[in-house]
Amino acid sequence: MEAAGRIYRRPAALPTLHVASGIDWFELHGDVAYDDQHASLPALLAALDRGESFVTLGDGTIGLLPEEWLRKHAPIARLGTRDGTQIRFKASQVALLDSLIAAQPDASWDETFTRARAELQTFDGIRPVDPSATFAGTLRGYQREGLGWLLFLQRFGFGGCLADDMGLGKTVMVLALLAGRRDAQPDAGRRPSLVVAPRSVVFNWRQEAARFTPGLRVVEYTGSGRTEIRTQFRDHDLVLTTYGTLRRDAAHLAATPFDYVVLDEAQAIKNAATVSAKATRLLDARHRLALSGTPIENHLGELWSLFEFLNPGLLSTAHAFERAGAGRHMDDDAIAMLARGLRPFMLRRTKDQVARELPARTEQTLYCDLERPQRALYDELLGHYRRTLLGESPANGLGRAKLQILEALLRLRQAACHPGLIDKRRSHEASAKLDMLVPRIAEAVAEEHKALVFSQFTSLLAILRARLDEAHVPYEYLDGRTRDRESKVERFQCDPSCRLFLISLKAGGLGLNLTAAEYVFLLDPWWNPAVEAQAIDRAHRIGQTRQVFAYRLIARDTVEERVLELQRQKRGLADAILNADSRLLRDLRREDLELLLS
């Protein structure tokens, strides 16, 4: 074809591809035939980068790009490094390269790549694995499969993202892995593992480790005294820290060799330019894992930061990944090819997929830590009530102090929930419970689940409503003053855009059928199990076809924890505290009050 005095050629056929192996890399050779002329795959990509639809051939004629083929394959090809007439892929990128050539019937490869593909394809044959004998619990079927996948990653030295739905026990699977790892390693070569998590989650890791892997020696690396704790790392199996501590101590932690580094709520590093993301990439570890129910919150471009931590170089440079489309401009075929290439490194199961493996209802207690301003308010109140109640109460009884005790416990419970419940002028301040709750309900909404949030303090629900209004999140609300309850229930049950229902305990603890909900959050606890069960049963009742997940939020080192201790000893006393029934306080002794006010 000739135009404007120049000769244009169409591709005679689709590009031919061949994979050859280097020392620790693979070379992708490819070219397109234009009659007796040829153009290499790197030349085609360079023309595409320039925004051109043609490539100049060796004889001066113009070759038209195979645009349809490039539209599908260029995003993956761009993730390699161009080197003359070939594109070089790292050994860690073998799955991406495999996804590229899998759709090419005429592609060829050498024996080394054949073996690499065969090993990679064992991913399809992963079998469930039982935890080691030191694991104090029972894994469900899908969790045993997850453990098998984690061991697959370990065998090949890959990092991976466990992206199961919230509530499926990602923490427990990782603890089973670490327990088996400790049992299998000789003392001489043993390194500690590091878990980086939001501050509100650290205590839950401690609790789960104590429950399921009591043999693991766990240390918390937060707060003051960290210099001394660093000297003790080698004496422990698991180090727990926060993203904030990692940012502050990046150099110290980067100098420590770890066995595993695990990022919990790993969407925290989705922005590669943040200090947290950069700090995680500095860490020295044999193996790397990420846990996140929402590894992609906005676009596929967020994967680069995650995988640069997990498998450095897998998605090339940030610039190359962005140039490849980063998910924003990829078509369905290219996205499917990328997904195939990443499949060995990501495991995601939804509740629908594993529901048959789960019990009818799952309940979990989540502990949160008060930040400094809220802790200062709580400690100030605590000191006041210790002076006024313990200083004046006779040793043989509490006499007329019972009403003051009830007031003290109420105010301390309010301070544990939010400073704004003590002083309305502080309603804008942070709250450990809301900081833990809001991301979880955001995740549930993003995954198109519905959730109930219960509190006995309507003032706390009012503060939460203000945050939701500011974020333009739709919800329904019900308290004792609500008149048209039926319309609110109907909207929540039937309107797919309304995924949250905020309910006060007294108004909604009984008599509501809310089977559209899969999540129940008990924002402030009720120590009477029957009351909690009634709230959870708004969702978990006849007509519910999905698994229900219930979460209790407890403020750590507050009266809430103290009452949990008393609950195990004196159920009636705990009920009295929560029900403000002064008649049942007749059995309260001084040592009980000292425990509550400790």
The dotted CATH code for 126-358 is 3.40.50.10810
CB 192 within 8 A of CB 141: no
pLDDT tens per residue, range 213-233: 999 999 999 988 999 999 999
If one counts every other C-beta atom within 10 angstroms of the C-beta of residue 145, the result is 20
Residue 328: half-sphere exposure toward Cβ, Cα within 13 Å: 10
Q: Exposed (0-12), middle (13-18) or buried (19+): which is 434, by Cβ within 10 Å?
A: buried
pLDDT tens string 266-317: 988 988 889 999 999 999 999 999 998 777 655 566 788 898 899 888 877 6
Which single residue is written with the structure tokens 């001489």?
Answer: 188
pLDDT score of 90 more than 80: yes
Lowest mean pLDDT among 206-215, 398-407, 438-447, 452-461: 398-407
State whether CATH 3.10.450.200 applies to domain 362-596. Answer: no
* pLDDT digit string, tens, across residues 303-361: 888 988 998 888 776 666 765 555 445 666 777 777 777 778 888 887 777 766 555 67
Whether 596 and 413 have beta carbons less than 8 Å apart is answered as: no
* Cross-strand pairs, 21: 26
- The domains of the chain are located at 2-121, 126-358, 362-596
Q: Which residue has the tokens 């129940």?
A: 520
Taking only the tens place, the pLDDT of each residue in 104-113 is: 777 888 888 8
- Which residues are bridge partners to 367 per DSSP? 554
Q: Furthest-apart CA pair in the chain: how many Å?
A: 110
Fold matches, 126-358 and 362-596: yes
pLDDT of residue 384: 92
The pTM for the full model equals 0.64
